[in-house]
Structure 1
């Protein structure tokens, strides 16, 4: 077991620094986009998303940013919420809509170059298609929620408008590019000062807790759950999966890529491509708990704080669980 200092320096600190940089980029882009009017340009494309969901045009820029960086996109939404452009309900709708656009970048960075070669073209495309369908369904739920819950909402766009000196002349009020960059930098640093301390505290607590996870396993044994397979076995049997699927599900709990590597040799002999995809989906369903503790809680709490962060986690995790189950049922039927 690593020392407490080692865990903080090798696990928590790098993650906090990386996410802080990406959030800073997102918040900075939001401020610059507003200052230079770039939001208006991006909104022409994003309006196809924002108008049906009754969201302001500025949100379109944040949603589309997710295709490049989910953290940066969340940073932009956090900036819009903190500025008062979005209230909690509108922010939740925007977060749900983000889901598919955040998935798109993973197609090019993970699913395409990593997972499909591991699983093979047939099973790989089936699994990626399932994950894409799950993400798209969640985003559609967000659009429908906005259409119903945000009907009649009015937004005060002036809260994110660039500040223009009262005695300025011309369209930019006499403001230079240096002034604009300085003002955007100051706003970004101000936002980071409120976010980074939360990130540091929550990530530190989570990684320390994970380091002492053996005690958690011991606690499970006390209540009669001596090993995870005791929980997984009945579910695999209920879905008609062979016994070979159980270790794959267990491995996927810890690392989805290792789960794919484990199941790949079984495809065709032990498992059909469809059974392999179902196995990975079941593993991803179980791993939602670990993913929530390891990634979602520290990330969302760091950005939004504990109260609103909890709402985001509950909505995101709940919708993922529902549509993963739907996807499993679809594969069982076809």
Structure 2
């Protein structure tokens, strides 16, 4: 070896460089080798996070159904019983006795007693009540101002119908007794306040100039021409001979209407309720809506109220279903009612296009129908705002 170095120093230098370079490469290879297992060990854990085991999904689904099905079953039973009884009440005409006080409201408002008939009819059928008022206006019995006052007085009696057909059988079971009764009572108070305001305004602004009692003769002639022969038009109480329906037929009709209501409401409740429970289980609702906390905190509402108002503004029943599991934490019954009232204010824009414009324009025509919508909306906004202020200031 030393002889080769002496003979050729250049070859010796190359040999020494190669000897010193090999250990470096050798030491680098284990590093790559040690890196590969790390990558291999990382992949299974990453995949495990992305794809939950089938058993975990099944367990979560079963847990969700165990929570949803009993609540949905209880609500469905209450809705079925309540709607059936309500349909029986309407079918047998018993609801009209609730509106018997209407005549005592029209006289102080300087309206003829006949307007009380339309108001009474509204408690059984909103469409029929409004149609009767429209007939009085078109005949000349009432001018526009008197008709607007009559529409305001109509408000509470239109609400009475919804108490039996929606609030008691549907909304109270969803919200629970305490919150449900509080909400329905507040809404009843708002409707009654609008009615009382209508009586007061009528007493101040209406006179004989707004009512043409001579038009009653034409109306009575039209009603007595024998075209219908209906006992309800003559004012006589209906008898068994007047109605071709037996009590059994009326009960069957009430059951048919109840079945239709359940088919319309229960599937929607099932979907919304399941989504809400799943959301509460897997998502921190307070954190999700925490951005809105500065806005809602000003009036003492939880941040989650923003999401509830959004749902409630689109669908009243869905909004009630969404807030029901949150009553107790983070909502109290009072803050839950305030949130739903706020949702009612927001929903005016939606309900006006979906229901009010088609209905009111169909009854009154576009020009006067727009006036009715404006008055109804303004009065509701005023008194709902008063109700919210009262709930916020209550100890």
TM tier, smaller: 0.5 to 0.7
Residue deviations 1:183-213 (CA, integer Å, cap 9, x gap): x9xxxxxxxxxxxxxxxxxxxxxxxxxxxxx
Aligned 1:233-244 pairs, distance under 5 A? 235-244=295-304
Greater relative contact order structure (CA < 8 Å, 6+ sep): 1
Which residue of structure 2 lines up, in the alignment, with residue 282 of structure 1? 342
The 8 Å contact of residues 85 and 159 in structure 1, kept in 2 or not, is answered as no
Deviation at 1:312, TM superposition (A): 0.5
Q: Flag the 1:105–1:237 CA change in 2: closer, same or farther, 3 A.
A: same
The one-character-per-residue Cα deviations of 1:240-264 (angstroms, maximum 9, x if unpaired) are 2111111111100100111100101
Corresponding residue for 2:136?
A: 80
Q: What per-residue deviation string (whole Å, max 9, x for no partner) do you get for residues 29-60 of structure 1?
A: xxxxxxxxxxxxxx985431211010111110
Matching residue of 2:219: 160
Q: Among residues 142, 148, 151, which one is paired with 2:204 in the alignment?
A: 148
The alignment of Structure 1 onto Structure 2 pairs a total of residues equal to: 236
The structural deviation recorded for 1:88 is 0.5
2:326 is the counterpart of 1:266: yes
CA shift at 1:161, angstroms? 2.2
| Structure-1 residue corresponding to 2:156 | 100
Supply the distance in 1 between the matched residues of 2:212 and 2:100 (Cα, whole angstroms): 18
The answer to whether 1:62 aligns with 2:118 is yes
Measured at CA, do residues 46 and 130 of structure 1 come closer, stay the same or move farther in structure 2, by a change above 3 Å? closer
Determine if the alignment matches structure 1 residue 305 to structure 2 residue 361: no
Question: 1:7-42 CA deviation, whole Å, 9 max, x = no partner?
Answer: xxxxxxxxxxxxxxxxxxxxxxxxxxxxxxxxxxxx
> CA separation of 1:85/1:178 partners in 2, compared to 1, >3 Å: closer, same or farther?
closer
1:318 is the counterpart of 2:374: no
CA distance in 1, matches of 2:221, 2:294: 59
Post-superposition offset of 1:235: 5.0
Distance 2:317 2:100 in 1: 38
Displacement of 1:301: 1.0
Rounded Cα–Cα distance in structure 2 between residues aligned with 1:241 and 1:323: 20
Residue 191 of structure 2 corresponds to residue 132 of structure 1: no
Counterpart CA distance in 2 for 1:74 and 1:51 is 19
Question: Kindly tell me: are residues 128 and 180 of structure 1, through their superposed partners in 2, closer, same or farther at Cα, counting changes over 3 Å?
Answer: closer
RMSD: 2.5
| Contact 2:293/2:302 (8 A) holds in 1 | no
Distance 2:294 2:390 in 1: 20
Task: Quote the Cα distance in structure 2 between the aligned partners of 1:104 and 1:158.
Answer: 31
| C-alpha separation in 2, matches of 1:233 and 1:283 | 17
Q: How far is the alpha carbon of 1:151 from its aligned partner?
A: 2.9
Q: Distance in 1 between matches of 2:299 and 2:123?
A: 34
Q: How does 1:112-131 map to 2 (within 5 A)?
A: 112-131=168-187
- The answer to whether the Cα contact below 8 Å between 1:248 and 1:279 also exists between their aligned partners in 2 is yes
Closer/same/farther in 2, CA of residues 303 and 178 from structure 1, 3 Å limit: closer
Mapped contact 2:190–2:380 kept (Cα < 8 A):
yes
Q: Are 1:56 and 1:155, in contact at CA under 8 Å, matched by a contact in 2? A: no
Cα drift, residue 125 of structure 1: 0.6
Distance 1:119 1:90, change over 3 A: same
**Structure 2: any 5+ residue segments left out of the alignment?**
1-98, 234-288
Unaligned stretches of 5+ residues in structure 1: 1-42, 165-171, 185-228
Structure with higher Rg: it is 2
